Amino acid sequence: MINICLLGATGSIGDSTLGVVDQHPDQFRIHSLAAHTNWEKILQIARARKIRRVCLFDATAAFQLTQVAPDLEVLCGMDGLLELVQDPQIQTVVNGLMGSVGCLPTLRAVENGKTIALANKETMVMAGPVIQDALDANPRASIVPVDSEHNAIFQCLAGRPISEVETLLLTASGGPFRELPKDRFAHITVAEALKHPTWTMGRKITIDSASMMNKGLEVIEAHYLFRVPYDQIQVVVHPKSIIHSLVQFRDGSLMAQLGVPDMKVPIQCALTWPERLSLRTGRLDLPAIGQLQFFPPDFDRFPCLQLAFDAGRMGGIAPAVLNAANEVLVAAFLDESIAFLDIPRGLEFCLSSVSMSEGRLTLAQALEADSNAREFARAYIARKVSLK
Ligand code: MG
């Protein structure tokens, strides 16, 4: 029986994780839960599964929960998250937190030798070298990626050494604006950007998919997870999202992972690897699909993708700056404070405003870069709003 700490329990990764656990009640048990503010849903999940230990990041929400459920152990804030992940009673952490708040819990889990099913890509983008160093220092710990592309690559690699890899190919659906002419990008509305063609996800990641920043962040995530140089990472637009990603080996063999777009597949893979358990989900009907299409990415219409490659190659704090500024800019776009194209413009402003650090990234530098980038992004947004 594997005891799981589920971070981000009320979001889509949380739902899918509960769906996997429900199919294998003799293998997995959810031991503790965490969410941002949704205490009602946390209470419902805890009651249904007899879970006694929970954390709400938001202090007000945590207080409300203690009022209605005095029998639960309710932790709060970052301290609460860190306490949950280092609990000796759990073996595995599913990190489905949204945004850079997910970074420190991943690090603490690695330091405590846990297996981390990592859906929070911001962890690797913000502090990739720090996590790499922690993994090297804690050989009992492991990270299995849940992000569908990285999980696909992980499955294709199947433990082979990275020296055998020529190229990692990350597939991208291209989002809702794959065919939109460039002159229409200035008028993209929030409602249009929230219509993702293949995956149902949270609002922030859906906007990131529309701008292709999601793929950009995934390129950086892949660089740090698999320790492959940027020159060996490519993005391929594949609109139907049937192939979740591929690995080209040095003998020219191309391995791909295919499947229905259901996050239960990579989550279960991360929980059971290297074994495979049965899973009730859809199955691909290849004759019904008929064709698989591939296109090169358009860096001109999707400048966020180029900015991510640039920030990745700059290294140091640049990915942390990109990630944090993007979070703030996307929130402002969702509030309708700025236009869609202000996201890449704001990112460029932030990347050119920060002074880059020398040497291997430290956690302190990553955290400082994250908060500075948010300030720069807010300043950019304030100026845009004042000009309206
Ligand atoms: Mg993904």
Q: Count Cα atoms within 13 angstroms, Cβ side, for 104.
A: 14
CA of 121 to the centre of ligand 1 (A): 9
The neighbourhood of ligand 1, an ion, using CB within 5 A, equals: 147-149
CA distance 68 to 271: 33
Q: Give distance in angstroms: CA of 318 to centre of ligand 1.
A: 21
CATH ID of 160-260+293-386, from 1.10.10.10, 1.10.1740.10, 1.20.950.20, 1.10.8.100: 1.10.1740.10
Residue 293 vs residues 153, 219, 233: alpha-carbon distances, Å: 19, 21, 19
Q: Give me the torsion for CA of 264, 267, 268, 272, rounded to 10°.
A: 180
E strands present in 50-164 = 53-56, 73-76, 92-95, 115-118, 142-145
pTM of the model: 0.95
Q: How far does residue 117's CA lie from ligand 1's centre (Å)?
A: 14
Nearest-angstrom CA–CA distance, 89 and 200: 33
Q: What are phi and psi of 295, to 5 degrees?
A: -140, 155
Find the 146 Cα to ligand 1 centroid distance in Å: 8
Q: How far is the CA of 69 from the centre of ligand 1 (A)?
A: 36
- Let me know: does 30 contact 37? Beta carbons within 8 Å: no
Ligand 1 center to 261 CA (angstroms):
11
Q: Is 84 exposed, middle or buried (0-12, 13-18, 19+ CB in 10 A)?
A: buried
Sign of the alpha-carbon torsion through 247, 204, 363, 375: positive
Sorted by where each begins, the domain ranges of the chain are 2-145, 160-260+293-386
297: CA distance to ligand 1 center in Å? 16
Separation of CA 358 and ligand 1 centre (Å):
30
Nearest to residue 215, comparing CAs of 131, 299, 292?
Answer: 299
In Å, how far are 20, 175, 206, 314 from 212, measured between CA atoms?
29, 7, 9, 19
Fold of 2-145: Rossmann fold (3.40.50)
What single-letter amino acid sits at 191?
A
Q: How far is the CA of 147 from the centre of ligand 1 (A)?
A: 5
Task: Give the integer Cα–Cα distance in Å for 354 and 343.
Answer: 17
Give the distance, in angstroms, between the CA of residue 371 and the centroid of all CA atoms in the same chain: 19
Centre of ligand 1 to C-alpha 74, Å, is 31
Rounded Cα distance between 66 and 183, Å, is 52
Distance 68 CA to ligand 1 centre (A): 37
Q: Are 349 and 372 in contact (CB under 8 A)?
A: no
One digit per residue, the tens of pLDDT, for the chain of length 388 reads 999 999 999 999 999 999 999 999 999 999 999 999 999 999 999 999 999 999 999 999 999 999 999 999 999 999 999 999 999 999 999 999 988 899 999 999 999 999 999 999 999 999 999 999 999 999 999 999 999 999 999 999 999 999 999 999 999 999 999 999 999 999 999 999 998 766 667 888 899 999 999 999 999 999 999 999 999 999 999 999 999 999 999 999 999 999 999 999 999 999 999 999 999 999 999 999 999 999 999 999 999 999 999 999 999 999 999 999 999 999 999 999 999 999 999 999 999 987 777 789 999 999 999 999 999 999 999 998 888 7
Task: Check if 2-145 and 160-260+293-386 are the same fold.
Answer: no
